[in-house]
């Protein structure tokens, strides 16, 4: 969808998408699932779950992490009010109408669905992304210099801000080690820009979650360069919680409400959206090993208390129980927290 010609064509006539939805729905039905609720993650799976749910007589939860309609606008794949834009909003409205319940990752997304897509507010629950602590305590950082951006190299991220800030960081700390993921539609372009600017950036990718978390834990600072677009203000980045889960302090620019978590909870530094401001935030953190460790320890504590993911899981359990007409599921859901 990030390629404008393809993204626009996908929704200029939604016949191809509807065919995929039908095929996926038939595949779900053919398994004769012994379940009480179907849940689709993101739009395509949600639409297929709704279709399969009608046949199987099962309630459906649509689990939306972002809005395709807004992301396509940010990609430049559609224009507001165009035929493709109207089609995708019609499809998203159908999910909101036909699903028995909808979960979203932020109050901003909930408000968007109610205000712009006429969603029933009683059918929408806010269930944040989250994570469980992956290490017992934050490790010491005697010589911090390793910084990481663990998100996809995508137009939806503020990669431009990051690339403009890095030369400033390298100038002040020549021995800094910068790690970026090697995936995303901008990956080749970013690699070329780094070579042209002679930035010794290292690219990584781990298929294994355990190896990924082990690598993150070996870093000193996690970066979250964010765009201030409507679609980004609605999401709750998984990277935020991935960093927290291994005790990494975070440097981000102020963009959405989740950046208030970084600032207000004392787990990192929130900067302005200028390259100099973002670079100075990185340098400020790298020059303070004690602050790195205290921010990391605070992040781990929050994941065990205020932002414990088991609370979000239990919310899902309550939704499932209500849809099934039974009491709230407590014991089976709570047991997930010990894993």
- Does 146-304 match 4-127 at the fold level? yes
146-304, which class in CATH? alpha beta
- In this predicted model, what pLDDT tens digit does every residue of 304-322 receive, in sequence order? 999 999 999 999 999 999 9
- HEC string of the chain equals CCCHHHHHHHHHCCHHHHHHHHHHHHHHHHCCCCCCCEEEEHHHHHHHHHHHHHHHCCCEEEECCCCHHHHHHHHCCCCCCCHHHHHHHHHHHHHHHHCCEEEECCHHHHHHHHHHCCCCHHHEEECCCCCCCCCCCCCCCCCCCEEEECCCCCCCECHHHHHHHHHHHHHHCCCCEEEEECCCCCHHHHHHHHHHCCCCCEEECCCCHHHHHHHHHCCCEEEECECCCHHHHHCCCHHHHHHHHCCCCEEEECCCCHHHHHHHCCCEEEECCCHHHHHHHHHHHHCCHHHHHHHHHHHHHHHHCCCCHHHHHHHHHHHHHHHHCCCCCCHHHHHHHHC
pLDDT exceeds cutoff 90 at 236? no
Instruction: Encode pLDDT of 251-275 as tens digits.
Output: 999 987 788 899 999 999 999 999 9
| pLDDT tens sequence across 72-131 | 988 888 999 999 999 999 999 999 999 999 999 999 999 999 999 999 999 999 999 899
Q: Using 50, 70 and 90 to split pLDDT, how confident is the model at 326?
A: low
pLDDT in the model for residue 336? 32
Fold exhibited by the domain 4-127: Rossmann fold (3.40.50)
* 188-219 pLDDT, tens digit each: 999 999 999 999 999 999 999 999 999 999 99
Predicted model pTM: 0.88
Are 35 and 57 a contacting pair, CB within 8 Å? Answer: no
Percent of the chain whose predicted confidence (pLDDT) is above 90? 81
pLDDT at residue 229 in the model: 82
**pLDDT confidence of 334, banded at 50, 70, 90?**
very low
Average pLDDT, the chain: 91
pLDDT for residue 25 is more than 60: yes
Q: Where are the domains of the chain?
A: 4-127, 146-304, 309-339
CA 40 from chain centre, in angstroms, equals: 16
């Amino acid at each position: 969808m990030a390629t404008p010609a393809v993204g626009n064509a996908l929704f200029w006539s939604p016949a191809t998408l509807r065919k995929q939805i039908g095929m996926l729905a038939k595949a779900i039905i053919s398994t004769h699932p012994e379940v009480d609720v179907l849940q689709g993650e993101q739009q395509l799976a949600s639409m297929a779950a709704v279709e399969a749910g009608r046949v199987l007589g099962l309630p459906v939860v649509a689990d939306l992490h972002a809005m395709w309609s807004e992301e396509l606008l940010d990609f430049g794949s559609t224009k507001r009010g165009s035929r493709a834009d109207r089609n995708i909003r019609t499809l998203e409205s159908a999910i909101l109408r036909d699903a028995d319940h909808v979960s979203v990752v932020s109050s901003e997304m909930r408000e968007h669905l109610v205000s712009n897509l006429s969603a029933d507010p009683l059918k929408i629950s806010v269930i944040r992304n989250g994570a469980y602590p992956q290490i017992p305590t934050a490790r010491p950082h005697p010589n911090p210099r390793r910084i990481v951006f663990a998100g996809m190299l995508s137009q939806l991220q503020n990669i431009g801000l990051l690339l403009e800030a890095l030369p400033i960081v390298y100038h002040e700390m020549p021995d800094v080690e910068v790690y970026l993921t090697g995936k995303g539609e901008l990956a080749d372009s970013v690699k070329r820009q780094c070579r042209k600017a002679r930035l010794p950036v290292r690219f990584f990718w781990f298929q294994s979650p355990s190896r990924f978390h082990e690598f993150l834990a070996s870093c000193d600072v996690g970066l979250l360069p964010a765009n201030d677009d409507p679609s980004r203000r609605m999401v709750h980045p998984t990277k935020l919680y991935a960093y927290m889960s291994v005790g990494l302090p975070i440097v981000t620019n102020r963009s959405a409400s989740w950046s208030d978590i970084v600032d207000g909870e004392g787990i990192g530094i929130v900067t302005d959206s200028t390259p100099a401001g973002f670079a100075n935030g990185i340098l400020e953190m790298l020059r303070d090993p004690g602050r790195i460790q205290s921010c990391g320890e605070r992040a781990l504590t929050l994941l065990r208390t205020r932002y414990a993911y088991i609370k979000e899981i239990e919310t899902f359990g309550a939704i499932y129980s209500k849809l099934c007409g039974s009491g709230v599921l407590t014991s089976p859901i709570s047991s997930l927290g010990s894993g």
